[in-house]
Structure 1
Amino acid sequence: MKIKIHEGEIHLKKWEPSVNSGAAPIVMLHDSLGSVELWRDFPEILANELSRTVFAYDRLGFGKSDARDELPSKEFVEEESITFFPQIKEKLSLNKYVLFGHSVGGGMAINIASRDTDCLAVITVSAQAFVEDLTANGIREAKKMFEQPGQIERLEKWHGSKAKWVLHAWTDVWLSDEFKNWSLEPAISNVQCPVLAIHGDRDEYGSKAFPEFISTRTGSNAEMLIIKDCGHMPHKEKTNEVIRAAKEFLKNVA
């Protein structure tokens, strides 16, 4: 489905569980190269296992949402919580909700929760909390890989003609001098809802310093889960562990 916000049309998908508990829905926020379709079957599994409605949307410029002309600003993580998500929340008539954010989507989830008490809980997966050398080096390696013949076509499958924009929106911003001091620090202490920070011990884009930062600096109850033998995609690599952790974490969240 498409929803109209001031800046353009946003592609969004909804999954209803076979048995709905009536608990607050989950809104999923994708990573730097992600899209609704790249979540694969995980949202459906999440919906059915947790008995909650699940929404996922393509950020403007990504997937099946409208294109953007300019690259995101250096404040794009914060801007998702200020400019874009509030409009999506209004269009979906969300009163209470839970956020599930992967990678930079996790940082966006923290920022949204810091500004909106209607967010009842946050689950971050492989979220960056600041820019580590490991983060920058991983992005440089990915940038080199996408320069190889045929690689950009992998992104075109999900983002169409927007693929090069999506790649530059990631690499150009994250590797810029202006972004190197970015951090969740300004927002995280304002988060008042429970937070679960999930991280793979072999994440190629960040060390366990990220989930440690998130779990120790929120203004609320927070916990950390390090998944063994797992990289940057725990929800794909260790689906059952992530589902089990999410179910336990949200069991008392209405």
Structure 2
Amino acid sequence: MIAEDLGVLVDGVRLPACRLRPDGAAADAPVLVFLHEGLGSIRLWKDFPEALCRATGLPGFVYERQGHGDADSLNHWPRPVQYLEHEAEHVLPRVLEAAGIERMVHVGHSDGGSIALLHAALRPSGLLGVVTEAAHVFVEEITLASIRAARDAYRHGDLREKLKRWHGVNTDGVFWGWNTTWLEPAFAAWDMTDRLSAIRCPLLVLQGDKDEYGTLAQVEAICRGSGGPARPVFVPGCGHVLHHQGRAAVLDAMVPAIQEWTTPAAAS
């Protein structure tokens, strides 16, 4: 596995990134684009991107959004209510262009899954499929309750110290930029289900049955609303971070779907 650290600039903002190329991957192969969660970073994926790239034989691309990990810091928070749409419609296309990625499969976790779906609704020509883990397409009370609990853990528990391991000087910005936005009264009405019918590429929609941030209603809404084929996968015993908590089951679901979407016959 070859890992190459790099960075891209979008509107003058530096976003660290990493290219992954497993042994034997074709130079023109589609790229797995990993989109992290609301408190995520490149390092929080740990070695899951490498594992999925090896299992599929495809190269990967992992990047950090503004305010996360080692990326340039957020200037202010809360973020706008439409921050996920901004990432999908403005930032992600520019990241792909800067990285020279023309054919891809998105692998998105939580916020990253929502961004992947919003980008898919634009029908980019090179998008062959989308895998989501614990994506949100509307706001649920269970989500808000867990975000309020996270606020208490950050203020009074050890959550801030845990996050500093991954975000360093960006820790306060990444946490409050996520937490205050989701708890803004206006954000309770956020709903992207009307965008789903525009999606035409295939979807694989994963959800843990013990997810503390969302229910199976999210999966049902995605699969019901999508304009293309969508397959739900429920992973028993898993919470919000399926690729770590149920890694074997997640790989078993993702690998054949991605291989199906990226074979020459499927891509033609």
Give the TM interval when normalised to the shorter protein: over 0.9
Does the alignment pair 1:94 with 2:67? no
Match of 1:158 in 2: 166
Find 2:17's aligned residue among 12, 16, 25. 12
Find 1:184's aligned residue among 192, 204, 208. 192
TM-score (norm. length: structure 1): 0.97
Q: Which runs of 5+ in 2 are unaligned?
A: 1-5, 263-268
Q: Which runs of 5+ in 1 are unaligned?
A: none
Match of 2:73 in 1: 67
Distance in 2, matches of 1:27 and 1:240, equals 20
The amino acid across from 1:213 in the alignment is: A
- Any idea what the Cα deviations from partners look like across 1:114-145, whole Å, max 9, x if unmatched? 11232110000011121101110011111111
Find 2:182's aligned residue among 165, 174, 177. 174
Match of 2:265 in 1: none
SS state of the match for residue 166, structure 2? Answer: helix
SS state of the match for residue 75, structure 2? Answer: coil
SS state of the match for residue 180, structure 1? Answer: helix
Find 1:3's aligned residue among 2, 8, 23. 8
Does the alignment pair 1:85 with 2:120? no
Does the alignment pair 1:105 with 2:112? yes
Q: Percent identity?
A: 30
**Is this contact kept in 2: 1:101–1:123, CA < 8 A?**
yes
SS state of the match for residue 252, structure 1? Answer: helix
Match of 1:56 in 2: 62
Does the alignment pair 1:231 with 2:239? yes
Count of equivalent residues: 254
Question: Over aligned residue pairs, what C-alpha RMSD do you find?
Answer: 1.2
**Is this contact kept in 2: 1:200–1:228, CA < 8 A?**
yes
Match of 1:141 in 2: 149
Q: Flag as ranges the 4+ runs of structure 1 deviating above 6 A.
A: none
The amino acid across from 2:142 in the alignment is: L
**Is this contact kept in 1: 2:70–2:170, CA < 8 A?**
no
- Any idea what the Cα deviations from partners look like across 1:35-79, whole Å, max 9, x if unmatched? 000000101101100111011111011111111212221101100
